């Protein structure tokens, strides 16, 4: 079933569209959530949250990529669960490491500025990603969007962990330069 067919069914309030969505993109969304929360049960809750969010937002939204939209909703739910779980106890897992790696590129701003500039920053990062070669962009997204560990990425591309680490370092450096040129950091 195509994205358009699923979206049409969601717009018609046909609940079978949710099951079609789960069958089509559930494995990827579940994998992203599990990497974040490190628990199948919590990841399943995040999946349910994502399905509920889809039901509540389509219509009026009509995303170009249902896969990206759904995965983002599940990912955001998992990040919320992760933050709630670790609010008092810091450390552990892949997320602090990933955030630490990216802190080199963009330093924190106060909340008001962050809210105002979030959309602009997202657009500029997308512009930056569009300039990268496909493999470099995919590796960057797998690490920083899908939160995959270095070993998994290295295995997928038949590279060493060290090679992936160096590629990511160079890409972060390019991102920092790009963001400086855009006066975003």
Q: What is the pLDDT of residues 27-39, one digit of tens each?
A: 999 999 998 888 8
Q: What pLDDT does residue 81 have?
A: 87
Mean residue pLDDT of the chain comes to: 84
pTM of the complete model:
0.62
**Residues ≥6 apart with Cβ < 8 Å to 139:** 153, 157, 164, 167, 168, 171
**117 has pLDDT over 70:** no
**89 has pLDDT over 60:** no
Confidence class for position 84, pLDDT limits 50, 70, 90? confident
Structure tokens at 10: 């969601």
Q: Which residue has the tokens 């199948």?
A: 40
Q: Are 37 and 81 in contact (CB under 8 A)?
A: yes
Per-position DSSP letters for 83-134, written without gaps between them: HHHTSSS---SSHHHHHHHHHTTS----HHHHHHHHHHHHHHHHHHHHHS-H
Q: What pLDDT does residue 184 have?
A: 72
CA-to-CA distance for 93 and 140, rounded, in angstroms? 18
Coil, helix or strand at residue 137: helix
Q: Are 50 and 63 in contact (CB under 8 A)?
A: no
pLDDT, tens only, 140-170: 988 888 888 888 899 999 999 999 999 999 9
Of the candidates 51, 137, 49, 147, which has an alpha carbon nearest to the alpha carbon of residue 93?
147
**82 has pLDDT over 50:** yes
Q: Structural domains in the chain? A: 3-85 (1.10.1740.10), 95-181 (1.10.10.10)
């Amino acid at each position: 079933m195509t994205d358009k067919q699923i979206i049409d069914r969601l717009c018609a309030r046909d609940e079978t569209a949710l099951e079609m969505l789960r069958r089509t993109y559930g494995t990827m969304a579940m994998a992203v959530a599990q990497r974040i929360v490190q628990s199948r049960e919590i990841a399943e809750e995040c999946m349910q949250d994502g399905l509920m969010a889809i039901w509540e937002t389509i219509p009026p939204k009509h995303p170009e990529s249902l896969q990206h939209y759904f995965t983002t909703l599940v990912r955001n739910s998992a990040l919320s669960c992760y933050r709630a779980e670790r609010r008092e106890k810091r450390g552990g897992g892949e997320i602090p490491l990933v955030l630490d790696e990216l802190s080199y590129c963009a330093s924190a701003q106060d909340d008001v500025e962050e809210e105002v500039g979030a959309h602009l920053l997202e657009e500029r990062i997308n512009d930056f990603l569009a300039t990268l070669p496909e493999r470099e962009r995919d590796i960057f997204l797998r690490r920083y969007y899908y939160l995959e560990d270095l070993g998994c990425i290295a295995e997928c591309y038949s590279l060493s962990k060290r090679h992936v680490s160096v590629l990511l370092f160079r890409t972060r450096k390019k991102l920092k330069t790009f963001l400086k040129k855009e006066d975003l950091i």
